[in-house]
Structure 1
Amino acid sequence: MYMIQGLDHVQVNAPRGHEAEARTFFGAFLRLPELTKPEILQANGGVWFALPDGRQIHTGVADAFVPSTKGHICLFCDDLDTVLARAEQFGVVCSLDTRVHLRRLYLSDPWGNRMEIVEGRHDSSPSWNTAGD
């Protein structure tokens, strides 16, 4: 049995004052609806976005910001060609990766953080036995 039940949200670091770019990238380009942050956290900066499955993407201010060029979030879609066409409309550079069985692409958010988008889903079958836990 799993102790952890799932993933609630991921936070992407960004430089101070990034909120307008976040709304363009996550809101307009990726078409994710913006969520209202709790009032007590609003002064911290950043923006929260909803994913259709109930999970969230948060952007947060990192004063000593350095983009994450290896570690990344991975989103999934039903049609990667639609993402590619939309990326072209928004001037977002993507690179296709055909090394695994899933169609996938890599791109960077406006601050240089790496992001992956796959068509379909990665296999989530555990490679270890959960029966005795």
Structure 2
Amino acid sequence: MSPLISGLDHVQVEAPAGCEEQARAFFGAFLGLPELLKPEALRGRGGVWFALPDGRQLHVGVTPGFVPREKGHPALRCPDLAAFRAHCDAHGVAYKADAEAGVPRVFLRDPFGNRLEVVEGGHAGVPLTGAS
């Protein structure tokens, strides 16, 4: 364990100006994440923050000249990937199933074209011997 880093606080996905309602519809209504009140000093920048069930946060931040991320992505955990896939199917949200990493997972796009991963359980990493 690192004596300098104690964990992950939040992840941010980028979006274009005026993204807030689409972000609320996708991350809030579709994924079921509660919206958080942004700090007053940051509200004028646009975007929306959401709470994750484990106490971490997902931020949707406005980026001038926004371009969707093709590879870089957050990976969200879910307890039942079959239920998540059925939820996507019921709402017309396209996804691609993949198990290359040894865990059940799907990849999908948010309304802004960013890549997202949803994984059942989680990825298990094996520390490298002697790594610091």
Query: TM-score if structure 1 supplies the norm length?
Result: 0.93
Tell me if 1:8 matches 2:9.
yes
Tell me which stretches of 4 or more aligned residues in structure 1 moved more than 3 Å.
none
Counterpart residue type for residue 46 of structure 1: G
The amino acid that maps onto 1:114 is R
Question: Which residue number in structure 1 is paired with residue 110 of structure 2?
Answer: 109
Matching residue of 1:85: 86
Q: Once structures 1 and 2 are overlaid, which stretch shifts more, 10-19 or 97-106?
A: 97-106
Structure 2 CA distance for aligned equivalents of residues 124 and 19 of structure 1: 35
Segments of structure 2 that go 5 or more residues without pairing to the other structure are: none
Name the aligned partner's letter for residue 121 of structure 2.
Answer: G
**Aligned partner letter, 1:43:** G
Which position in structure 1 is the counterpart of 2:56?
55
- Post-superposition offset of 1:81: 1.0
Equivalent in the alignment of 2:121: 120
After superposition, residues 61-80 of structure 1 pair within 5 angstroms as: 61-80=62-81
Residue 65 of structure 1 aligns to a residue in which SS?
coil
Per-residue Cα deviation, 1:37-92 (whole angstroms, up to 9, x for no partner) = 01111110000000011100000101110000111100011100111111122221
Deviation at 1:101, TM superposition (A): 1.6
- State the partner residue of 1:38: 39
Question: Secondary structure in 1 aligned to 2:45?
Answer: coil
Secondary structure of 2:18's counterpart equals coil
2:56 counterpart letter in structure 1: R
Taking only the aligned residue pairs, the percentage that are identical comes to 54
Q: Which runs of 5+ in 1 are unaligned?
A: none
Deviates more, 1:16-25 or 1:82-91: 82-91
Name the CA distance, whole Å, in 2 between partners of 1:51 and 1:10.
10
Given the two structures, how large is their TM-score scaled by the length of structure 2?
A: 0.94
Hey, what's the Cα distance between the residues in 2 that align with 1:73 and 1:107?
11
What's the CA shift string for 1:86-118, capped at 9, x where partnerless?
Answer: 112222100101223200100000010000011
Aligned position for 1:94? 95
3-state secondary structure, aligned to 2:32: coil
Number of corresponding residues:
131
